């Protein structure tokens, strides 16, 4: 085979969609060309927003054989692995932390693949070629966020100097429950009763839940969802990262990956949650409501998702970041690892100490969270 050639592209549209998608597959919708293109074409990801696309591609002759989403970042917003403290410390010491390199899906803290390679490639050699891009650059650092464990291990084998940082999310996994009642049967009696009460309370408020997929999500449904999504952010005094144009592009170009959960009162939509789905996993991402209703968030964002997974044969439900309240609803802690290349050895040593200390806290937190899960002990 011919030599691997690394090329950096400043827009995802510079790479043919069919060639990109042939490498990334259908398992993880956020790595699809359509999703990344919607971010850029809608303006959510651009130099004006502090996200400068610098996607890394590998070629053998005319064949695209590797892709890695990559951005030059001028801040740390929209990443969900927080390194503001590192940036502040380095700048106090007289250094420049930004711009930095980032390989992640913007605004999307969902674990999944990051580097996609053709099957015939030597993954170790491919990663070393890519590593040269940031090791030889003038960037302060490179960060790989929300990669899955096999990819993390592969990167560590290729680049032993990468620093590992751990975090936690809560995810639901199907253990052969069959249906929602089967899931409830695996919980303690107290939690079964509490969840049934929450669901009944939603119905008693005159609310009904409806799951729309793919082509059933029309422009009116998406526009209503967006109003709800904006309400969530406006309550915090700002607009969301993503605009209606982004969601409309997904509706047109990636409908098979969309699940819209609507709450209706008297037949009129009043709340909505938008999820994406791959071949095995449901990803809960965006939510908002025009009404105040007890337990509606739990129903729309958790219980409907669990029911959908059980109905469609999806084995994992990732409802998004944060929230110990997910524990009592059957979402177990999962450790996540991000990897970090720090160019300056002084900053690298400080970050390494921080990550080691944080790792001990994460381990203790996970043990406590596991103990708090509401599943019956046989």
3-state secondary structure of 116: strand
Which backbone phi and psi does 142 adopt, to 5 degrees? Answer: -135, 140
Confidence of residue 92 (pLDDT cuts 50, 70, 90): very high
For residue 284 the two structure tokens come to: 């809960």
Cα→Cα distances 191→53, 58, 171, 185, Å: 46, 51, 17, 10
Q: Say if CB 263 and CB 209 are below 8 A apart.
A: yes
Q: CA nearest 177: which of 303, 336, 327, 28?
A: 303
Q: What is the DSSP letter of 89?
A: H
Cα→Cα distances 121→56, 65, 118, 151, 220, Å: 16, 8, 6, 15, 45
pLDDT at 104: 97
pLDDT digits (tens, 9 = 90+) for 152-198: 999 999 999 999 999 999 999 999 999 999 999 999 999 999 999 99
Residue range(s) occupied by CATH 3.40.630.30 in the chain: 4-168+334-372, 175-314
Give the angle 229-241-141 at the CA atoms, nearest 5°: 145
**Helices of type H across the chain:** 17-24, 33-41, 84-92, 123-135, 149-158, 180-185, 189-204, 219-234, 244-253, 296-298, 304-312, 345-371
Confidence of residue 235 (pLDDT cuts 50, 70, 90): confident
3-state secondary structure of 156: helix
Mean pLDDT of the region 262-268:
98
pLDDT at 134: 85
pLDDT at 122 over 60: yes
pLDDT at 100 over 70: yes
pLDDT at 103 over 70: yes
Confidence of residue 136 (pLDDT cuts 50, 70, 90): confident
pLDDT at 378: 67
Q: CA nearest 228: which of 143, 301, 326, 124?
A: 301
Mean pLDDT of the region 56-65:
96
Share of residues in the chain with pLDDT > 90 (%): 93
For 346-366, the three-class secondary structure string (H helix, E strand, C coil) is HHHHHHHHHHHHHHHHHHHHH
Mean pLDDT of the region 348-376:
96
The class (CATH top level) of 175-314 is alpha beta
Lowest mean pLDDT among 4-18, 123-137, 290-304: 123-137
pLDDT at 212 over 60: yes
Mean pLDDT of the region 92-120:
96
Dist. CA 194–CA 190, nearest whole Å? 6
- CATH number for domain 4-168+334-372, candidates 3.40.50.200, 3.40.50.10470, 3.40.50.2000, 3.40.630.30: 3.40.630.30
pLDDT digits (tens, 9 = 90+) for 291-347: 999 999 999 999 999 999 999 999 999 998 777 889 999 999 999 999 999 999 999
Q: State the chain's mean pLDDT as an integer.
A: 96
């Amino acid at each position: 085979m011919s030599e691997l050639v690394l090329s950096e592209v400043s827009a995802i549209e510079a790479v043919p969609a069919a060639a990109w998608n042939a490498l990334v597959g259908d398992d993880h919708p956020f790595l699809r060309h359509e999703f990344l293109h919607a971010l850029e074409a809608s303006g959510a990801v651009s130099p004006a927003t502090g996200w400068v696309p610098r996607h890394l591609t590998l070629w053998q002759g005319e064949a695209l054989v590797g892709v890695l989403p990559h951005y030059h970042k001028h801040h740390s917003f929209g990443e969900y692995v927080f390194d503001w403290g590192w940036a502040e410390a380095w700048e106090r010491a007289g250094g420049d932390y930004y711009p930095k390199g980032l390989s992640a899906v913007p605004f999307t803290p969902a674990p999944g693949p990051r580097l996609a390679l053709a099957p015939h490639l030597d993954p170790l050699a491919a990663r070393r070629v890519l590593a040269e891009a940031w090791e030889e650059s003038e960037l302060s650092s490179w960060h790989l966020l929300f990669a899955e464990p096999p990819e993390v291990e592969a990167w560590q084998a290729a680049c032993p100097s990468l620093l590992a940082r751990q975090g936690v999310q809560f995810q639901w996994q199907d253990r052969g429950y069959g249906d929602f009642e089967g899931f409830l049967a695996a919980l303690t009696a107290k939690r079964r009763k509490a969840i049934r009460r929450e669901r009944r309370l939603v119905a008693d408020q005159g609310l009904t839940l409806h799951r729309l997929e793919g082509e059933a999500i029309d422009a009116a449904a998406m526009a209503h969802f967006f109003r709800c999504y904006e309400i969530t952010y406006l309550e915090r005094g700002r607009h969301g990262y993503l605009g209606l144009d982004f969601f409309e592009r997904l509706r047109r170009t990636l409908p098979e990956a969309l699940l819209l959960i609507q709450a209706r009162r008297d037949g009129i939509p009043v709340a909505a949650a938008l999820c994406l789905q791959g071949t095995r996993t449901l990803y809960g991402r965006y939510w908002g409501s025009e009404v105040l209703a007890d337990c509606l968030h739990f129903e729309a964002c958790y219980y409907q998702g669990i029911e959908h997974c059980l109905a469609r044969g999806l084995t994992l439900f990732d409802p998004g970041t944060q929230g110990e309240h997910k524990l009592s609803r059957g979402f177990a802690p999962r450790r996540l690892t991000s990897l970090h290349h720090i160019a300056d050895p002084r900053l690298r040593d400080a970050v390494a100490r921080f990550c080691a200390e944080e790792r001990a806290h994460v381990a203790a937190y996970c043990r406590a969270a596991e103990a708090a899960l509401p599943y019956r002990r046989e």
